[in-house]
Structure 1
Amino acid sequence: MTGGSRFATGARWSGFLGLWMTALGLPVAALAQDVGARAFLSAPQVGVGRQFVLNVEVSGTQQLDADPVLPDMEDFASFLSAGTSTSIQIVNGRTSMAITYQYRFQALTEGTFEIGPVSVTVGDEVVQTEPVTLVVSDAPPPPAAGVDPADPGAAIGPDDLFLETRVSSNRVFENEPIIVEYRIFTRVPVQSYAITTLPQATGFWTEELEQPAAPQAERVVRNGSEYLTATVRRVVLFPTGPGSKTLDPLSVEAQVRVRERSVFDPFSDIFGRSSLFDQRVPVVVASRPVTLEVLPLPSADRPRSFAGHVGTLGVSASVDRAAVETNEAVTLTVEYSGTGNLRTLAPPEIDFPVEFETFPPETSERISEGGGSLQGSRSFEYVLIPRVPGELIIPGIEIAYFDPASRQYGSARSEPLEISVTGDAVEGDVAGAVPTAVETIRDEIRFIHVGTPRFRRVGLPVYATGVFWLVLLVPLAAVGGAMVFRRHRDRLEGDVAYARVRRAGRMAKRRLARARGLAGGDPREFYAEVAGALQGLLADKLNIAEAGLVREEAGRMAVRRGASPETLERLFACLDDCDRQRFAPAGTDRESPERVLERAAGIMEDLARELSR
């Protein structure tokens, strides 16, 4: 019997195996078996960006106190997920058992690599596996090159499912926008997909483009084969410096529906529809790196006001009032409009007349995709307060830019603005409120609370007071509470299931507190403790062994007990994230420990509440 998920099945079956052996008249001692371990790969050769599975089989036991310790593989592989399966065999009256840990990785670098020994601790004994060799090649692996025939995803080749990167141009100027589109192509049934690894945008300013909630799929023909394709991600990149730059691969994990060949489904054979015995197989694909050539901006004819903007620009300036009294606020609005990386435009440096008191500008922007770039406007609003009457002039604003289409510099300039100020000159400090610049003064007077006082009657008999009844009933309540508490204690000692359910929340919070203490240390220990707190809470609430049930069965049991599918989805996603972070390379960007703890605490609170109903 086998089963796979984050939860091992060994603890559950080991409890029933002795009874089953006794019923068959076989000695339970026949379970005795020497402990051993071996490591093997799902395939000795994989392509760059494809996935492979490192299997660690431990024979002679069905449960380990600690997970196997893997060697460092971050130089050539990225961890994806982990699972377990168990097996029991009876041959000639002798029973053998084994537990297999399955670690999925994505191959990153071409070459031949040795995966070092895996350490497995069983009791006081430490067992190590033999090293295995992995070949990562850009060429497709030869047919049947050690591929496990039992693997349902073995038949999915590089031409069946792949990811492609499309760029608007491979040769651009510094700070010139590049639209990058990642598309998935498939000719196998894909139920869903998710991005697992985002490329490092070193040397680029990145702007994400909006994606529809349900990507639009379309059918295309490539090399004589029909594919279904959809856009996975779209971004605009602005190179921040000249030179040769490389776009790293983007990785996607797709859930592919694969039919179980060993199971006969007459309805599928007759009607040609999806089989009842289809499996969902995770398949990881990655795009190929793309090399870009970034040209430096020409130094000839560069305007003095040029600040690095590449695209087109226009500038306008306006005031809300052209005639005001002294000490009245005027709003000056400066708007840049055009194409390119508008978010990096800094507020203009304006030489205001000394008669104005000025305040820092407030910024607003309207930016969208268009014309193969980003387009829109960025505005700055200044609050000006004239202190002296007269005809005051705000000088024009000039800004320069480089147009990559014409390969020439250009500039734009706004017209000067004249403001007529009347009234008397203001001397010294000025009191009064200034919009958006001076804080509103709060009321400083607190009124005395006026209300009718409460009266009570005097001369009441003792039995008519609340104190009398309180003194009379408190001893009775204490006796009743003691009886309930004693019954609760007796049940905790005699009913294991009741004790686990009652103590589940407290034990999970204790483990989460231990994880908080590990937040600044080894990430592996931190994420392992967070995962243990979540997994232990679910196991205690369902009264099962922590490693005793596959995920699907645990989910069904939890739903029957009142847990919502949304909460379970958050729980399993958090467990997957913890597994992925435990094996992530040292330099990987991780979610902050405070955020992870907050997320885990929210899941624990919702799960405990739902399973207690």
Structure 2
Amino acid sequence: MVKRLKVLSALILCILALNVIGYAQEVPFGADYYVTADVDNLQPFVGERILYTIRFYDAISPPSHVDLPDFATFWRGESTAATRAEIIHGRQYLVKEQSIALFPTRAGIQVIEPTVIDILETSLRSGAQLQTESLSINVRPLPENAPDGFSGLVGQFDVTFSLEPTTLQVGEAAIFSVSLLGSGNLAQAKPAAPALPEDMWRVIERPASDIQRNGPLQSRQYRWMIIPLRAGEHVLPAPTVVYFEPQTESYRIVPGEPQRIVVRAADDGTVVLSAEAVNIEAAAEGAAFTPVLKPIDNIQFGGVNSGGRFWLWLLPPIITGGALIWRYQQRKEAQRKQQQAAWYAARKALAQAKKKRAYHYVRQAIYRYIEIKAQGVKPLTREELISIVCEHGDNRLAEALNICLQQADMGDFSPKTLNKDAPLQPLIEQTRKTLQALEQTWHD
């Protein structure tokens, strides 16, 4: 299975590399900029991963803003971006490529609306608007008569099972895990929970691990706490994972091995859930466990009476609520401090501009302000800075900042004999007013 996945990964990369050659031929001769969009599969199944890719061919590097469609009938997955240079029709273009993983959620013809790119107007060039063509995706339904245990997994996976420990006491917890490696909808679906008798076991779902990515392959681990309620030597049924494989258009059943587990009786004969099984720890982390099977009515909690048991069940949501409120307040306080830091850094740089290297400090005020407001994301290019302002402010303020930067560039890099008498105070004041207006309209 692993060998088959490696071959699949290599095939995907080869297809993507070959497709790049054809896309460049779509750029009209003499165009300053051009945009295309495509998907790698026009007939996917429900839940099957497809890749939506936008390519923006740019020969003059204008400030721009990208408005993606809402992908209403698709679940949106990971996104990657890359930039490269290409010579097309004897002219060099900067090709900015963004790929977004999509998973269709509904069968039938699903339309992806156009992506719109606004070319912002500057003092040297008029604005424009580009858009891609809409794409019609014929989403096929999954075949009927899915096997028992199918929970919506679609893709191609390598599956491993584990159970630890295999010797424990009544009321203690073992961890049963299922690890999936491959390409598919790991974020939207998961394996079915272990099917165990309710009078002998309690099953509690644990949070799944984060999705790990390695090129086109992904991996994720799903875990359940299995708590025995009776002593003895037990053989758990062989676990299975069922998923639909689009390449073969068929359901696949991956079986595991039966698991042997030895359960010792408690000294006093009662069933007391261990501290690990109580979800207070999860509540402190802001995420309580979700019981998959119903709790057993006759469990004894180490001599705690019914009133005490009632308050024990109330404790986790109380702790969870308090933790969420505290985190919300901390987040708001951090945002307030971040706003103050951005405005303070900008004012400090503008104050320096009145003394020396004025044009340099005007640029620094703008870049430092945007860097802090965007939570440390450094706008390495002018276009990236303008795009961030458009996203969190508005286009008019983005254009005003762009003009301030252009004036600073002309003042700093033109011959000194031309700019020695240029008035600096109006530029500093205009920059201050623009940043102050952006401070009032900035939104996350």
> TM-score, normalising length from structure 1?
0.41
Alpha-carbon distance in 2 for matches of 1:243, 1:203: 10
Report whether the alignment pairs 1:394 with 2:236.
yes
Gaps of 5+ in 2: 1-27, 285-345, 351-357, 374-384, 398-434
Determine which of 47, 56, 79 is the counterpart of 1:184: 56
Alpha-carbon distance in 1 for matches of 2:94, 2:195: 55
Alpha-carbon distance in 2 for matches of 1:249, 1:230: 19
Report whether the alignment pairs 1:408 with 2:234.
no
Determine which of 239, 259, 268 is the counterpart of 1:417: 259
Residues 295-338 of structure 1: per-residue CA shift (max 9 Å, x gap): 22233x53233333321234332122222234443222222333
Query: Which amino acid in 1 is paired with 2:258?
Result: P
Who is 2:200 aligned against? 355
Alpha-carbon distance in 2 for matches of 1:158, 1:289: 24
Report whether the alignment pairs 1:163 with 2:163.
no
Report whether the alignment pairs 1:244 with 2:115.
no
Residues 162-215 of structure 1: per-residue CA shift (max 9 Å, x gap): 1011321222222222111111123x3215x5443111201111113233xxx4
Report whether the alignment pairs 1:289 with 2:116.
no
Report the alpha carbon displacement of residue 252 of structure 1 after superposing the two structures with TM. 2.5
Alpha-carbon distance in 1 for matches of 2:134, 2:214: 25
Who is 1:137 aligned against? none
Contact 1:164 1:184 (C-alpha < 8 Å) held by counterparts: yes
Determine which of 222, 228, 231 is the counterpart of 2:93: 228
Report the alpha carbon displacement of residue 377 of structure 1 after superposing the two structures with TM. 2.6
Alpha carbons of structure 1 residues 347 and 356: separation in structure 2 relative to 1, 3 Å: same
Query: Which amino acid in 1 is paired with 2:41?
Result: S
Who is 1:150 aligned against? none
Alpha-carbon distance in 2 for matches of 1:562, 1:173: 51
Contact 2:151 2:191 (C-alpha < 8 Å) held by counterparts: no
Alpha carbons of structure 1 residues 166 and 256: separation in structure 2 relative to 1, 3 Å: farther
Report the alpha carbon displacement of residue 293 of structure 1 after superposing the two structures with TM. 1.8
Alpha-carbon distance in 2 for matches of 1:369, 1:254: 35
Report the alpha carbon displacement of residue 161 of structure 1 after superposing the two structures with TM. 1.2
Alpha-carbon distance in 2 for matches of 1:346, 1:368: 17
Who is 1:378 aligned against? 220
Alpha-carbon distance in 2 for matches of 1:328, 1:295: 45
Alpha carbons of structure 1 residues 563 and 409: separation in structure 2 relative to 1, 3 Å: closer
Who is 1:365 aligned against? 210
Alpha-carbon distance in 2 for matches of 1:343, 1:560: 45
Gaps of 5+ in 1: 1-155, 258-277, 443-537, 543-555, 583-598, 607-613
Who is 1:479 aligned against? none
Taking the TM superposition and a 5 Å limit, the aligned residue runs for 1:95-494 are 159-186=31-58, 188-190=59-61, 193-211=63-81, 215-221=82-88, 224-254=89-119, 279=124, 282-299=127-144, 302-346=146-190, 348-353=192-197, 354-368=199-213, 370-371=215-216, 375-424=217-266, 427-428=269-270, 430=272, 433-434=275-276, 437-439=279-281
Query: Which amino acid in 2 is paired with 1:345?
Result: A
Report the alpha carbon displacement of residue 341 of structure 1 after superposing the two structures with TM. 0.7
Contact 1:398 1:414 (C-alpha < 8 Å) held by counterparts: yes
Contact 2:209 2:221 (C-alpha < 8 Å) held by counterparts: yes
Contact 1:388 1:425 (C-alpha < 8 Å) held by counterparts: no
Alpha carbons of structure 1 residues 313 and 424: separation in structure 2 relative to 1, 3 Å: same
Alpha-carbon distance in 2 for matches of 1:356, 1:601: 62
Contact 1:246 1:292 (C-alpha < 8 Å) held by counterparts: yes
Alpha carbons of structure 1 residues 283 and 388: separation in structure 2 relative to 1, 3 Å: same
Alpha-carbon distance in 1 for matches of 2:34, 2:363: 41
Alpha carbons of structure 1 residues 203 and 322: separation in structure 2 relative to 1, 3 Å: same
Report the alpha carbon displacement of residue 235 of structure 1 after superposing the two structures with TM. 0.4
Determine which of 369, 387, 392 is the counterpart of 1:567: 369
Alpha carbons of structure 1 residues 563 and 230: separation in structure 2 relative to 1, 3 Å: closer
Alpha-carbon distance in 2 for matches of 1:293, 1:368: 28
Report the alpha carbon displacement of residue 219 of structure 1 after superposing the two structures with TM. 1.1
Alpha-carbon distance in 1 for matches of 2:222, 2:64: 39
Report the alpha carbon displacement of residue 160 of structure 1 after superposing the two structures with TM. 2.8
Alpha-carbon distance in 2 for matches of 1:434, 1:579: 51
Name the Cα RMSD after superposition.
4.5
Q: What SS is found at the alignment partner of 1:291?
A: strand
Q: What SS is found at the alignment partner of 1:190?
A: coil
Alpha-carbon distance in 1 for matches of 2:270, 2:392: 62
Query: Which amino acid in 1 is paired with 2:84?
Result: A
Residues 131-161 of structure 1: per-residue CA shift (max 9 Å, x gap): xxxxxxxxxxxxxxxxxxxxxxxxx998331
Residues 464-483 of structure 1: per-residue CA shift (max 9 Å, x gap): xxxxxxxxxxxxxxxxxxxx
Report the alpha carbon displacement of residue 390 of structure 1 after superposing the two structures with TM. 0.8
Aligned pair count reads 296
Q: What SS is found at the alignment partner of 1:566?
A: helix
Give the number of the structure whose residues are more often helix, by fraction.
2
Query: Which amino acid in 1 is paired with 2:32?
Result: D
Alpha carbons of structure 1 residues 564 and 334: separation in structure 2 relative to 1, 3 Å: same
Alpha-carbon distance in 2 for matches of 1:194, 1:178: 27
Alpha-carbon distance in 1 for matches of 2:154, 2:195: 25
Alpha-carbon distance in 2 for matches of 1:576, 1:366: 28
Taking the TM superposition and a 5 Å limit, the aligned residue runs for 1:46-125 are none
Report the alpha carbon displacement of residue 217 of structure 1 after superposing the two structures with TM. 1.5
Alpha carbons of structure 1 residues 426 and 163: separation in structure 2 relative to 1, 3 Å: farther
Residues 556-605 of structure 1: per-residue CA shift (max 9 Å, x gap): 799569956422786996688554699xxxxxxxxxxxxxxxx989947x
Query: Which amino acid in 1 is paired with 2:75?
Result: W
Contact 1:330 1:385 (C-alpha < 8 Å) held by counterparts: yes
Contact 1:326 1:425 (C-alpha < 8 Å) held by counterparts: no
Report the alpha carbon displacement of residue 406 of structure 1 after superposing the two structures with TM. 1.7
> TM-score, normalising length from structure 2?
0.55
Taking the TM superposition and a 5 Å limit, the aligned residue runs for 1:499-578 are 559=361, 563=365, 565-567=367-369, 578=393
User: Alignment identity in percent?
Assistant: 22
Larger Rg belongs to: 1
Alpha carbons of structure 1 residues 329 and 600: separation in structure 2 relative to 1, 3 Å: farther
Alpha carbons of structure 1 residues 568 and 291: separation in structure 2 relative to 1, 3 Å: closer
Q: What SS is found at the alignment partner of 2:98?
A: strand
